[in-house]
Amino acid sequence: MTENITFLSPNGQAVSYGSGTVTRILAATINGVVTLDRQLRGKPWIETARSLEDLHVGSLLFDEGSGKLFAGCHHDGGLWVCEDGSARDWRQIQNGLDRHHIYSLASRVADGRTTLFAGTAPAALYTSYDLGESWEEVKAIQDVPGSGDWTFIPPPHFAHVKNVVFHPNEPDTYFVLIEQGALLKTIDDGSSFVEIDSYSNPNDRQWKEVHRLLIHPADPKLMYLATGEGLYRTRDGGESFMNVHHRGQRVGYPEFLYFDPSDHKSIFMAGSHLNPTEWFKDGIAESTILKSTDQGENWSEQNAGFPDPVIGAFEAMSMHLWYGGMMLVIGTATGELYATDDNCRSWVCLYDGAPAFSKEDHHLPFMSDEERADAMVKRGLV
């Protein structure tokens, strides 16, 4: 049987492709990589393996050409590679990486050449042209005015590179999302950067907290930016933005964005009702997914099959595509996996026994007081 694999992580590979529906999920959790398998559609999912269990894995990236699987780890856990993509045997790779808190991973293939990107905390960006064996820092992002002010609300207040997003038609153009601090753009493959800040308002409670950038594949001037203040849309490549979904609305803290592959006018947005500070107050994120069929003007909730409320924040999401089909998979900060393969008309809980999915410390609000205190001591936060 042909394996169809999707890679579920907070800040790694967001889309996978195959010949049919997903039969294997490789999931990045606070206790390593969890492998889930099923034989056929409709059959139960079974946990078949765990690896890197002592590490908090925040990003997974699979290189189709080499078959290598990469895992980036929070809290100075470093970068790891599995040569055969099985997520069983790993080797640490650090040559040229002088920052070991690996926050995000991305890859670009242009003119037959693969470039890997690793974003870190404190915020820095590295590239590799030899599939991770050696790395070079993209130092130009540090030259952007205001880089010294980049920060992050939770201690130790180090900003991080949350995502790297590539222009669909211009190989030398890409965007770097610094949380919190800047949305950066380069048109010369990282030799220089400019900041796009037309979305930013000095009165924003979450200053320049950028989460995701989604670029329309046929009209790259149309982009959507998910932030701590909601969702912004630009039709002119970032010269101006409109806040089309904001704090106080159903998803006031959006985290994930996807186009509907059958209709690129439609977008999916997943996240929680309020921001992480509010999660600590009652231990509930009220997560959900919304769909807009008119480029963000109106939204409908796509929550059939989810519990009400969803306790844990949506912390990892992937889209798996095959001819005529799509499957979305979500991992929560309380260790559940949900999926849909009917265009979000209904969701099913695939598994509820995984460790938490979590960007850095986003799982802490949903732990018991005792568990949270122990975790914070281990992290040196108290």
Average pLDDT over residues 245-273: 94
Q: What is d(CA 313, CA 213) in angstroms, rounded to the nearest whole number?
A: 19
Mean pLDDT value of segment 230-238? 96
How many beta carbons lie within 10 A of that of residue 216, not counting itself? 17
C-alpha dihedral (149, 150, 152, 153), degrees to nearest 10: 30
What is the chain's mean pLDDT, rounded?
94
Residue 205's pLDDT band (boundaries 50, 70, 90)?
low
Q: How far apart are CA 336 and CA 301, in angstroms?
A: 20
- pLDDT 10s digits, 25-65: 999 999 999 999 997 777 789 999 999 999 999 999 999 99
Give the pLDDT of residue 155. 82
pLDDT of residue 381: 72
Contact 293, 316 (CB under 8 A): no
Q: Which token pair is 69?
A: 């699987």
- Position 83 pLDDT exceeds 70: yes
Between CA 187 and CA 340 the distance in angstroms is: 37
Q: How far apart are CA 188 and CA 143, in angstroms?
A: 15
Query: How far is 339 from 329, CA to CA, in rounded Å?
Result: 4
Tens-place pLDDT, residues 328-358:
999 999 999 999 999 999 999 999 999 999 9
Q: Where are the beta strands (DSSP E) in 216-324?
A: 223-227, 230-234, 242-246, 253-260, 263-272, 287-292, 300-301, 314-322
User: How crowded is the C-beta side of 158, counted as CA atoms within 13 Å?
Assistant: 18
